[in-house]
């Protein structure tokens, strides 16, 4: 049986699609890098919703790239193995035993969970890490942090080949050293490096806060790099937001057109940002 109220829902859906047309035209062939942090992943339903948004982007002609984190999942495995772990300035101190667990969890469990979620929504995804296709070479960030890497040389050939085949790359943030080491790279840093190397149109940093806030705690919907520097100096931008805004500034300097910091737990966060007038989170651009 069908009712009038169901009909109204369908009309709303049709109107929404119609209104999305100019946005779809604007982003045709655009490259959008999405950082999907461990805190934004949530349960299977949230994962499925994220995957559906990514598949929809691909469907309308965008080249989406997912770069994921997985800090909480690494913590859980380290706990089980009784390996102690600490963070200094948002980066995990990573010894030889820890980097093995990081690679196992990120490249194995987390990466494949996302790839499978995209497949379940009818998309085609290929999982890789910075070690595949010479994608990301790193140098040690700081000897005190052990095997933590800073990306120094990117090779995006493999990603461009995947775009041609309409395949969605899903990237785990690990890099290679020149001496055969494996480096653990902060997920935001890796996403920024991938976005800059691709000169992406958008970098979406999905996290568990609504965006960059001003001194009154209001989310700033649009903000320039200069304003970010001023808010950081005055201490309004602090703590966990600093690696995100730093990533945003580096990405813009590296040639990314705009960066958005947004709450990945909100339903359809990516679609809201890309396909509506309203947008979501904080848009950072020069
Ligand atoms: C991170 C990599 C994962 C990550 C770590 O070991 O936790 C460093 O800290 P989220 O979920 O995005 O925080 N690497 C060097 O960044 O995960």
Distance 66 CA to ligand 1 centre (A): 15
**pLDDT > 80? residue 2:** no
User: What pLDDT was estimated at residue 200?
Assistant: 98
Please give the pLDDT value at position 58: 97
Tell me the pLDDT tens digit for each residue of 106-148. 999 999 999 999 999 999 999 999 999 999 999 999 999 999 9
- pTM for the model stands at 0.94
Name which residue sits closest to atom 14 of ligand 1, judged by CA: 186
Distance 210 CA to ligand 1 centre (A): 20
Q: Which of 14-18, 139-143, 152-156, 157-161 has the lowest mean pLDDT?
A: 14-18
State how far the Cα of 224 lies from the Cα of 190, in Å rounded to an integer.
22
Q: How far is the CA of 71 from the centre of ligand 1 (A)?
A: 4
Interval between CA 269 and ligand 1 midpoint (Å): 21
Give residues (CB < 6 A) around ligand 1. Answer: 37-39, 69-71, 74, 91-92, 102, 148, 173, 184-187
The per-residue pLDDT for 239 is 82
Q: How sure is the predictor about 21, in pLDDT bands with cuts at 50, 70 and 90? A: very high
Shortest-distance atom of ligand 1 to CA 74: 7
- Supply the pLDDT for residue 277: 82
Predicted local distance difference test score (pLDDT) of residue 82: 97
The pLDDT confidence band at residue 29, using thresholds 50, 70 and 90, is very high
Q: What is the pLDDT of residues 234-284, one digit of tens each?
A: 999 988 888 899 999 999 999 999 999 999 888 899 999 999 887 789 999
């Amino acid at each position: 049986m069908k009712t009038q109220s169901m009909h109204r829902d369908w009309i709303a859906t049709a109107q929404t699609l119609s209104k999305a047309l100019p946005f779809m035209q604007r982003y045709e062939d655009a490259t959008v890098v999405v950082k999907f942090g461990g805190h934004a992943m949530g349960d299977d339903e949230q994962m499925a919703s994220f995957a559906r948004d990514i598949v929809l982007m691909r469907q309308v002609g965008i080249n989406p790239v997912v770069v994921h984190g997985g800090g909480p999942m690494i913590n859980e495995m380290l706990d089980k193995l009784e390996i102690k772990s600490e963070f200094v300035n948002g980066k995990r101190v990573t010894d030889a035993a820890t980097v093995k667990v990081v690679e196992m969890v990120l490249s194995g469990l987390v990466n494949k969970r996302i790839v499978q979620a995209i497949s379940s929504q009818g998309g085609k995804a290929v999982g890789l890490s910075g070690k595949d296709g010479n994608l990301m070479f790193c140098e040690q960030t700081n000897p005190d942090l052990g095997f933590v890497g800073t990306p120094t040389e990117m090779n995006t050939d493999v990603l461009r080949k995947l775009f041609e085949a309409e395949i969605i790359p899903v990237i785990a943030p690990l890099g290679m050293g020149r001496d055969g080491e494996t480096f653990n790279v902060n997920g935001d840093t890796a996403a920024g490096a991938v976005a800059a190397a691709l000169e992406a149109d958008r970098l979406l940093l999905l996290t568990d806060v609504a965006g960059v806030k001003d001194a009154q705690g209001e989310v700033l919907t649009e903000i320039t790099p200069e304003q970010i520097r001023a808010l950081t100096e005055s201490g309004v931008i602090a703590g966990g937001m600093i690696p995100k805004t730093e990533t945003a500034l580096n990405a813009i300097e590296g040639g990314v057109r705009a960066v958005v910091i947004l709450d990945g737990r909100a339903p359809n966060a990516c679609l809201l940002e890309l396909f509506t007038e309203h947008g979501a989170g904080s848009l950072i651009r020069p």
